[in-house]
Amino acid sequence: MFRESPIIRWRNYSDRYKLSGHKCTKCGANYFEKKGMCVCGNLIFSEMFFSGNGKIVSFTKIHSGPSVFEEQSPYCVAIIDLEEGARITAQIVDCKYDELKIGLGVEAVFRKLYKSGEKGIIHYGTKFRLKL
């Protein structure tokens, strides 16, 4: 279904691959994915790039994933405060779940997200790991 569509993700390659974001030209707020209207009411955004550095705000370990993620289970997902001010959701990899704590520093890494269906289109994107 939609998770097997190459196009639905292609639109977001810039966000997913380069961690690009959108800066409000009026108040300077940064968004990971474009928001229709900034909280300040402005509609104009300029492109910016996140450094990939951030901190864990909350995290969990998913033991029972949706269909396309089933073979990866269990895996860790967190909400991360990026240092430029946006908050995003992403997987945390290369660590033991017990090592995760709210407030710990993380950095972005480029990884495979999932392979969808029989046609096997592979979706890539950003995950995070604990800062070394």
Partner 1 sequence: MKIGVIGIGITRFGEIWDRGLRELLLDSQLRALNDAKIVPQQIDAMFTGNMLGDSLSGQVHIGAMATENLNLDKPSIRVEGACASGALALRQGIKAIESGDAEIVMVNGVEKMTDVDTGQVTTALMGAGDEELEGFHGLTFPGLYSLLANAYMHKYPSLTRDILAEVAVKNHFHGARNSYCQFKNEITKETVINSTMVADPLTLFDCSPITDGSATIIIAKEEIAKKMNSEVFITGSGLATDTLSLARRNTLTAIPAGQKAANQAYAQSNITSKDISFAEVHDCFTIAEIMAVEALGFAKEGEAFNLYKNKETYFDSKHPINTSGGLKACGHPVGATGIKQAIEATMQLRGEAKNRQVLNATVGVTHNVGGSGATACVHVFKRLR
Cβ neighbours of residue 130 closer than 8 Å, sequence gap 6 or more: 92, 94, 95, 99, 100, 104, 105, 106
**What is residue 67's DSSP assignment?**
G
- 116 binding partner 1? (CB under 8 A): no
- Work out how close the CB of 43 gets to partner 1 at its nearest, in angstroms, rounded to a whole number: 17
Q: Which one among 28, 66, 85, 117 touches partner 1, defined by CB under 8 A?
A: 66
Judged by CB under 8 A, does residue 69 bind partner 1?
A: yes
Residue closer to partner 1 (CB basis): 48 or 68: 68
Measured CA to CA in angstroms, residue 98 lies from 7, 60, 75, 106 at distances of 37, 11, 12, 15
- Residue 123 binds partner 1, judged by CB under 8 A: yes
> Taking CB under 8 A as the criterion, which residues in 91-110 touch partner 1?
91, 97, 102
Stretch that binds partner 1, among 21-29, 40-48, 54-62 (CB under 8 A): 54-62
**Strand ranges inside 63-104, DSSP E:** 75-82, 87-93
19 binds partner 1 (CB under 8 A): no
Number of other residues whose CB lies within 10 A of the CB of residue 98: 7
Instruction: Give the interface with partner 1 as residue ranges (CB under 8 A).
Output: 2-3, 9, 12, 32-33, 35, 57-70, 72, 75, 77-79, 87-91, 97, 102, 113-114, 123, 125
